[in-house]
Structures are given as structure tokens and as C-alpha cells.
Amino acid sequence: MGRRQRDRRRQQQQQRRERGGGGDGQGRDPAGWAGGYPEIVKENALFERYYAALRIVPEGEWEPFMAALREPLPATFRITGYKSHANEILHCLKNKYFKELQDLVVDGQKIEVPQPLSWYPEELAWHTNLSRKILRKSPELEKFHQFLVSETECGNLSRQEAVSMIPPLLLNVSPHHKILDMCAAPGSKTAQLIEMLHADMNVPFPEGFVIANDVDNKRCYLLVHQAKRLNSPCIMVVNHDASSIPNLQMDVNGKKEILFYDRILCDVPCSGDGTMRKNIDVWKKWTTQNSLQLHGLQLRIATRGVEQLAEGGRMVYSTCSLNPVENEAVITSLLEKSQGALELADVSSELPGLKWMPGITQWKVMLKDGQWFEDWKEVPSNRQAQIRPTMFPIKDEEKLKAMHLERCLRILPHHQNTGGFFVAVLIKKSPMPWNKRQPKLQWKLLQKTGDTAVPTSTTEDGSVETIEEQPPEDEQAREVQDSLNSECEQSKKDGVCGPPPSKRMKLFGFKEDPFVFLSEDDPLFPSIQKFYALDPSFPKMNLLTRTQEGKKRHLYMVSKELRNVLVNNSEKMKVINTGIKVWSRNSDGEQFGCAFRLAQEGIYTLYPFINARIINVCIDDVKVLLTQENPFLSKFSNETQKLVKDMAMGSIVLRYDPDPNRLDTLQCPVVLCGWHGKTSLRAFVPKNERLHYLRMMGVEVFQAKRKEEDLRSKMEEGNQDDNAELVEEAADGDGTMQLGCSKQH
């Protein structure tokens, strides 16, 4: 929004106030505006009848269950665990913001100090009795809300529903795992997975990676925004239908092998009746028809997931629904089709403190008109397109007992003041029965070579049975791999990974720029390597750009494993985004020997390889850098001035190491990108990241909303990378900031 539009809007609002609230100048009755939309009645007779009959709630708990569903969902947030300063954020929360909430009363409601979620490790997740509406609207909570928003923007906090945090924890991720998130948007769970990969901040490139997929092109960009906050070179966002996501290949010791994932998160689309506390529209719209329509899609997505899971791998299936048709029915069908290849894992001891109910083994199916069916045989032929046999529990007691459906987790809202949720953890013990023959891609290749086809038949539930005996799997694999290798070598363009060439793809969403890796002899790299004295171990082959022609504006970096995936699958995969920005072109830099300056987003990934242009600064220098626009060198300590004196102008690294003897100062290392000018030194750090570091150092950065609105035009005109708009307003006449240290250790 431009300045003129803002001024015009302010004038219109002032005129309305003068006219007594009439938006059209006719003096409307203010009471008509005060009414707003009619409040949604939190009642649904069909919902209550359905779940009361299924007995998903323990005896005597129905009233507390329904009462909890009618209450607003409390706000919950999570501290990102892989950042080295997570402990500093926790300390700041406990000793500053939580103390200010004590004994506070808002709208007649006493504010409870946030409490840690008992089942989340290391006190990194917290909940409060504040609803999101109160948190946003109350002036008394403005400071705390601003803190949450700002820290969320720079990736240090994630505001996420409590039950949504459970599936990534149960995946039990290690830094070397290859992970697929099948239905990833909006991305809060994906962010958790990325954090787990980076559990050790001393390793810039974990061996593992996350491929985050979503079928909705627009939601993929929301996913990119979430992932970008975490600045990881190990995340790739792709846009495919999860039920038919393609098999990918990787180069392993010179041979192409199909990629199987160590961990898969299968958080499928669902009816969402567990989210009634947050999405109150569900009360009005809920019907059993939603679950009946989604069951088939959920089963197809879960089936595709287990097909791509490595043997010994773990897949978590989850929904925010309470309906067994979307939950236990899908798991039962999957286990039955797997013929022993899958088993439900017992995770009862993995999250101590979490209250849950076991999965149910008996349920009925109901149409939206209230008609019940207990068995597939009862369904009339005109309803068999709506109701499928996989929606019913199995009758064989021995089979049912062997499935261990009680190992599924059902989270009920009234037990720990959360939303409703369902989670099942599956372990793959052997290949799926229908995958013991050649996959579809391999089958076509064998037909091309004239090999004899093996006849198969399709069973009632959609799985494939082989009629004749097949040759040994490893012999097939060798033949297929040879075919794959020759085909891929002919079709692959060196280093260029563009979107699929199919014309149909262009009809869906935006056409993405290609991903072009730097060649071995790219003329750009030597000047960069020399200027920053990059270590010989620096993986320059992992650098990429988003343009094939013209000047390269930005350089991005991915991990070695993601490069492998990109290069070998450019023809079959629609990649929306990958890589972390590490360098940006700066025309002024060319005269100093390097046209590319460092980017703050990728500095923690890049720093271990840089051996030159590093300046170690003290805590007072960091405050000057973060509170002033372009401070003169005379503002800095003598040590810093000496280090800078003989250094050529251009992009630099500013490193702060904590002083263990000064416990009242910031106790985590900080790495910033900066620029050394002729007479000045400045930091290139985004606004929210500046505010984060200042908070951790005890500097008060809060600005009231009214003052912020007066400054908004200045903030929008300024360069986000070059200034710290909010803190500058508190500066005095000579450009220094009035520092009010509020941190108490």
C-alpha cells in the first residue's frame, strides 16, 4: 500500500468518526455495525449422535469432551531447537516476558503464565490459556504479541498447534535420514523436521534432507516461506499429487538407484473435526459425508507412502480428525494389503507425559441422513459408490488382534486442553507385495527390450498379485538399473535442472526458473574463492543459480545429496524451491576484487569454509552494529578498529564469541554479514533478526502500535537489509540508541 492510499484511508476514517460512524455519510445506526456477523452456534446434533454411538470417549467423559470442543483453543508456540541460541530465547521468555504476564487481567480473565508442554523435550514448546484473538487484540499483551510475531518471522519461534507437534517427534529423525513430507503445507511440521536434521549446528551439511510436497501450487509458496525462515540447504519444495508422487533416482557409486526414504510424514487431508476449537465453521458444516469422500484419497496417499519407504523405515500417518473411517479404517486396510510387510509400532513410551487413548477396533459407518451400516454386505448397491469395503473393521478376530490397532494414538481435546488428533506409526519390514514385481517404470523398459511379460491380476482391494513365479529380485534390479543408467545419461543436461517439459505442467501454477549448477570452470568462482579465502573442502559444485542467461544475481547452495536428487530427476519433478542464498551480486564490490557480497540467510552454512575477512567483535560493538544505520569506525572498540584498518573494503564477516566470565552478557555465538566502507562499518541483517539479537542482549526494542503506524511509511521505504527501523526511532541526537538493559541473570 502506498503513502497516498494510507493518507486517503486515514482521512476517510476521520470523516466517519466525525459523522458518528456512518461509512456512507448517511449516519448509519452504530448499533448495526457493532453487531457484526451472527455468532456461530456450537451445536451439531449429527456430530454428537455419531461419536456418542462410536464410543470414542471413555465412559463418563462425554460432557467434558463436548465442553472442551466449545472452548477456544489456547495459543501454543515452539522454540526452534536446532538454533544455538535456543537456550537464550528460553531464558529471555522465562525471565522477562513471562514475569510481565503474572497477575495480569484482560477482559475480566486472569492471564495464566505460559507453561511448558509436559511431553515436548527440553521445554521447547509452551502453551497458555490465551486465545489467539485475545493475544492479537489486547493492548496489555501487545508487547508479548510483538515478541511472538517478530521471533516467528526470523525463525526462532513457530506458533503451532500442540497436537500438530506430535507426528514429527514420533518419526524419530536423525541428521542422516532422507525424509519425505507428502502433504506438507502450510509447513509447521516440515519446519520441525528441518530442525531435527540440524540437531548439531557444527555440521553445516547434514547427510539427510527433507523433500516437502504439496498438491496445491499456491500453498507450496506458503511452504517455501515457512522453510526459508530456517535457512537450511537441505530442504526442497515440490508440487505433486501425493497419491502419485513419482519415484526419484539417485546416483550411488555411478549407478542410478531408486530413492527410498528413511522417514515419511503422511499428514493427509482430512475432514478436520478435531479442529473445531480453532475452525468454528466445522460446527455448521460437519457431516459424515466429508469422511466418506476423503477415505479413498487418504488410503491412496498412505499406500503411495509405504511404497516409497525404505525397509526398516518409519512412516507416521496422521489426521486432525476423530473419525475412524479416516483413521483406523485406513490403517486396517493398509495393514491387510501389506500381508505382513508393515506393522504398527508401539510408541506408548516415546512421549512421556502425553495423554492419549488407544485406537478403536470396532466402528460403524453412517450416511449423512443418519442411516447406519455395520458391514459391507448391508450396503445397498445404489450406495456402494459412496461406501467402500475398506471403510469397515475386519471381522476376523485373529487378524484384528495381530494388527494391534490399540497402538494407534487418539488425542482427545479435554485431556490436555488441545485439539483432537490421530497418529499411527508404521514400520516397513519388507517390500510391499505388489512391489515384488518390477515397478511401472521398470516394466516399460523391460517391454522395450523384448523381455517376456509376467501376467498379473488385480485383487478386489486394488493390490496386485503375481500369477507366475518371477526371477530373483536382484537379477531384475541389475537389468533395470542398466536400462535406467543408459536412458538417464542420454537425457540429462549437465547441471541444468529445469521444470518438466510437459506442456500440461504449465497449466498448473507458475512456471519456475530453472536450477542451474555452476560448472567446474565457471569464471565467477575464482574471484569469490580468493576474496574470502575459501577452504579447499568447500563444495563449489553445490552452488546454483536461477538463470541460464545474463548476469547471475544470486548464488544459492544445496547439500550434496539434494544436488544428486536435482540433477537426476529434472525431467520428472516439479521443483518449486530449494537452496539457501549465500551470495548476492553487488556492483560496488567489483572494484574491490569480488562482485558478490555475503548474504545473512546463508552465513551459518558458509562460515565454516571462510578463512579471510573475519572480524571478531565484542558485545558493545554488536549493539552499535544493530542499532545504528551506518556507524563510523570511531564508534567501535579499539580492537575492532585495528582489525579493520588494514583490511580492504567490501563484504565481511562479523563474529561474536560469548565471554564465559561475563554471564550477564549474551552466551551464544553470533555471526553477522557486514560491509566495510571507507570510514564506516555496517551490518547487513534483516529487521526481525536485528530485533532478535537485541532482545537477547537485553535491549528494549518494543514500540507501541501508534508510534509504529506513524513510522510505517519510513519503514516501507527503507531497505530491509540495511536498517533497523524500529530501534532507530529510539536513537538520540548523535545517532546512538538509548540502551535500557532489562535482562536479569
The predicted pLDDT at position 348 comes to 93
The predicted pLDDT at position 419 comes to 96
Please tell me whether residues 487 and 510 are part of one structural domain.
no
Please tell me whether residues 445 and 533 are part of one structural domain.
no
What mean pLDDT do residues 330-356 have? 96
The predicted pLDDT at position 521 comes to 87
Domain end (from 111, 139, 159): 159
What mean pLDDT do residues 315-331 have? 97
Separation between Cα atoms, residue 220 and residue 186, nearest integer Å: 8
The predicted pLDDT at position 2 comes to 66
214 labeled part of a ligand binding site: yes
The predicted pLDDT at position 179 comes to 98
Please tell me whether residues 478 and 508 are part of one structural domain.
no
- More confident: 743 or 138: 138
What mean pLDDT do residues 61-83 have? 89
Distance (Å) of CA 674 to CA 234, 589, 686:
25, 13, 12
183 labeled part of a ligand binding site: yes
What are residue 324's phi and psi, to 5 degrees? -60, -20
Q: Tell me the pLDDT band of 583, cut-offs 50, 70 and 90.
A: very high
Please tell me whether residues 724 and 646 are part of one structural domain.
yes
For residue 63, being part of any structural domain is answered with no
Q: Tell me the pLDDT band of 87, cut-offs 50, 70 and 90.
A: confident
Q: Is residue 201 scored above 80 in pLDDT?
A: no
- More confident: 663 or 379: 379
Q: Tell me the pLDDT band of 547, cut-offs 50, 70 and 90.
A: confident
User: What is the tens place of the pLDDT at every residue in 256-272?
Assistant: 999 999 999 999 999 99
The predicted pLDDT at position 737 comes to 34
Half-sphere exposure (Cβ direction) of 664: Cα atoms closer than 13 Å: 6
The predicted pLDDT at position 502 comes to 39
Mean pLDDT over the full length of the chain: 82
Strands 178-181 and 261-267: parallel
7 labeled part of a ligand binding site: no
User: What is the tens place of the pLDDT at every residue in 712-727?
Assistant: 444 444 444 444 333 3
Distance (Å) of CA 170 to CA 161, 192, 272, 573, 664:
16, 11, 21, 28, 37
User: What is the tens place of the pLDDT at every residue in 602-649?
Assistant: 999 999 999 999 999 999 999 999 999 889 999 999 999 999 988 889
For residue 15, being part of any structural domain is answered with no
Separation between Cα atoms, residue 420 and residue 193, nearest integer Å: 22
186 labeled part of a ligand binding site: yes
User: What is the tens place of the pLDDT at every residue in 133-174?
Assistant: 788 878 888 888 888 888 888 888 988 999 999 999 999 999
| Beta carbons within 10 angstroms of residue 611's beta carbon | 11
Q: Tell me the pLDDT band of 491, cut-offs 50, 70 and 90.
A: very low
Judged by average pLDDT, the poorest of 142-151, 196-205, 591-600, 624-633 is 196-205
Q: Clarify whether 618 is annotated catalytic.
A: no
| Beta carbons within 10 angstroms of residue 163's beta carbon | 24
358 labeled part of a ligand binding site: no
User: What is the tens place of the pLDDT at every residue in 15-48?
Assistant: 665 554 444 434 444 333 334 456 778 999 999 9
Please tell me whether residues 552 and 658 are part of one structural domain.
no
Q: Is 254 left (phi over 0), alpha (psi -120 to 50) or beta?
A: left
What cell does 32 get? 448495526
The predicted pLDDT at position 19 comes to 54
Judged by average pLDDT, the poorest of 36-40, 83-87, 281-285, 437-441 is 437-441
Query: Which of 74, 730, 19 shows the shortest CA–CA distance to 413?
Result: 74
For residue 675, being part of any structural domain is answered with yes
Number of domains within the chain? 4
The predicted pLDDT at position 92 comes to 86
Judged by average pLDDT, the poorest of 81-85, 252-256, 388-392, 658-662 is 81-85
The predicted pLDDT at position 703 comes to 60
Q: Which residue has the cell 543436461?
A: 493
What cell does 676 get? 566495510
For residue 346, being part of any structural domain is answered with no
Which are the contacts of 427, defined by CB distance < 8 A and separation ≥ 6?
312, 313, 314, 342, 343, 344, 345
Judged by average pLDDT, the poorest of 322-331, 375-384, 424-433, 437-446 is 437-446
The predicted pLDDT at position 470 comes to 38
The predicted pLDDT at position 149 comes to 87
- More confident: 305 or 523: 305
In this prediction the pTM is 0.81
Q: Is residue 12 scored above 60 in pLDDT?
A: yes
For residue 410, being part of any structural domain is answered with no
189 labeled part of a ligand binding site: yes
Buried b (16+ CB within 10 A) or exposed e, 538-571: bebebbbbbeeeeebebbbbbbebbbbbbbbbbb
Q: Is residue 447 scored above 80 in pLDDT?
A: no
User: What is the tens place of the pLDDT at every residue in 276-301?
Assistant: 999 999 999 999 999 999 999 999 99
What cell does 587 get? 556492483
Please tell me whether residues 478 and 509 are part of one structural domain.
no
For residue 228, being part of any structural domain is answered with no
536 labeled part of a ligand binding site: no
Considering 144-148, 200-204, 344-348, the range whose residues carry the highest mean pLDDT is: 344-348
> Pick the catalytic residue: 320, 408, 594, 673?
320
Q: Which residue has the cell 494388527?
A: 403
The predicted pLDDT at position 722 comes to 41
Please tell me whether residues 487 and 518 are part of one structural domain.
no
Please tell me whether residues 624 and 723 are part of one structural domain.
yes
The predicted pLDDT at position 658 comes to 86
Please tell me whether residues 561 and 626 are part of one structural domain.
no
181 labeled part of a ligand binding site: no
Judged by average pLDDT, the poorest of 39-43, 214-218, 364-368, 497-501 is 497-501
Q: Tell me the pLDDT band of 193, cut-offs 50, 70 and 90.
A: very high
For residue 367, being part of any structural domain is answered with no
Please tell me whether residues 79 and 150 are part of one structural domain.
yes
Please tell me whether residues 647 and 724 are part of one structural domain.
yes
The predicted pLDDT at position 200 comes to 77
Please tell me whether residues 571 and 651 are part of one structural domain.
no
- Domain span at 528: 504-582
For residue 569, being part of any structural domain is answered with yes
